[in-house]
Amino acid sequence: MLRLHYNLERVSMGLVAAIIVAASVGGIVEIAPLFTIDETVEMPADLRPLTPLELAGRGIYIREGCYACHSQMVRSLADEIDRYGPYSLAGESAYDHPMLWGSKRTGPDLARLGSKYSDAWHVAHLLNPRAMVPASIMPAYPWLTETLDTGLLSDSLAALARLGVPYAPEMIAAAEADALAQSRPDSDAAEGFLARYGERPALRSFDADPSRLTELDALVAYLQSLGTQTDAPFGILTERSQ
């Protein structure tokens, strides 16, 4: 084997050809399974897309680099399931563009974070992490109290719809209004929001100030949605425990 490699190094074109072959084999191994992804990945029947407000929060989550310290993927290991909950299914991320599974855990995994803490806890934690977790090394995000810019939400929903996320035309058209309505349950627009997204998404003022829509509202709404878009993982865990 060493002699073969030595001979390849002496013949540059042979070395180039060997590199191409090796890279091609690796590429085929990674790419080929994607051709059968529709058959191997089961889409949860109850999977719902993110609401406009949750989607805006996801954008802030990505903008602030939260994914660099927090994964959103529970592995199928007993200690992970005990700590975080049911292991992650590929189908859960079918509407995520890009997906945020990751492997970095400077902070805990967030895949099952939804409803684990109150909105008030999240708000306090984002504004001053050490007030809630004294040993935390997470930075504070005081600028999240700024007003949320909803101007591109319709375009975002339209782009995701082209990628297969089930946003109907009326959802796209009402994206800005629905983002505001989700944080104002007593408003007239809340009825339209419920008609388009149903009762599963949380409908409330996430930062406890319904007079204005802030980036805190959006990010907390997104964090509270994690692990709540489908019940499929919880169903599998229940079946295996019986």
The encoded tokens of residue 91 equal: 């189908």
CA atoms within 13 A on the CB side of 163: 12
One domain for residues 26 and 119: no
One domain for residues 188 and 224: yes
CA atoms within 13 A on the CB side of 88: 23
138-171 tens-digit pLDDT: 999 999 999 999 999 999 999 999 999 999 999 9
d(CA 114, CA 69): 18
Among 24-28, 118-122, 171-175, 202-206, name the one with the lowest average pLDDT: 24-28
One domain for residues 70 and 182: yes
Query: Tell me, what CATH number does 223's domain have?
Result: 1.10.760.10
One domain for residues 14 and 97: no
Interhelix angle for 2-10 vs 12-31, to 10°? 120
Q: Can you tell me the mean pLDDT for 168-177?
A: 97
One domain for residues 123 and 27: no
One domain for residues 21 and 90: no
Predicted local distance difference test score (pLDDT) of residue 240: 55
Total domains in the chain come to: 2
Q: Are 221 and 206 in contact (CB under 8 A)?
A: yes
One domain for residues 96 and 203: yes
Residue 228 falls within a domain, yes or no? yes
One domain for residues 29 and 109: no
Q: 3-class DSSP state for residue 5?
A: helix
Domain hosting residue 28, numbered range: 2-40
Residue with tokens 């790419």: 31
Q: Does the structure show a pLDDT above 90 at 128?
A: yes
One domain for residues 144 and 198: yes
d(CA 157, CA 166): 9
Residue with tokens 């089930």: 166
Predicted local distance difference test score (pLDDT) of residue 241: 55
Residue 75's alpha-carbon distances to 17, 78, 99, in angstroms, are 38, 9, 16
20-76 tens-digit pLDDT: 999 999 888 888 877 776 666 788 999 999 999 999 999 999 999 999 999 999 999
One domain for residues 105 and 168: yes
One domain for residues 173 and 233: yes
Residue 231 falls within a domain, yes or no? yes
One domain for residues 66 and 91: yes
- Please enumerate, as own/partner, the contacts of 76-81 that have beta carbons within 8 Å and a separation of 24 or more: 80/109, 81/237
Residue 47 falls within a domain, yes or no? no
Q: Are 12 and 57 in contact (CB under 8 A)?
A: no
Among 81-85, 188-192, 231-235, name the one with the lowest average pLDDT: 231-235
Q: How many CB atoms lie within 10 A of CB 165?
A: 17
Q: Are 113 and 223 in contact (CB under 8 A)?
A: yes
Residue 90 falls within a domain, yes or no? yes
Residue 45 falls within a domain, yes or no? no
Handedness of CA 79, 240, 87, 218 (dihedral sign): negative
Q: Does the structure show a pLDDT above 90 at 6?
A: no
Q: Can you tell me the mean pLDDT for 201-218?
A: 95
Residue with tokens 């989607």: 55
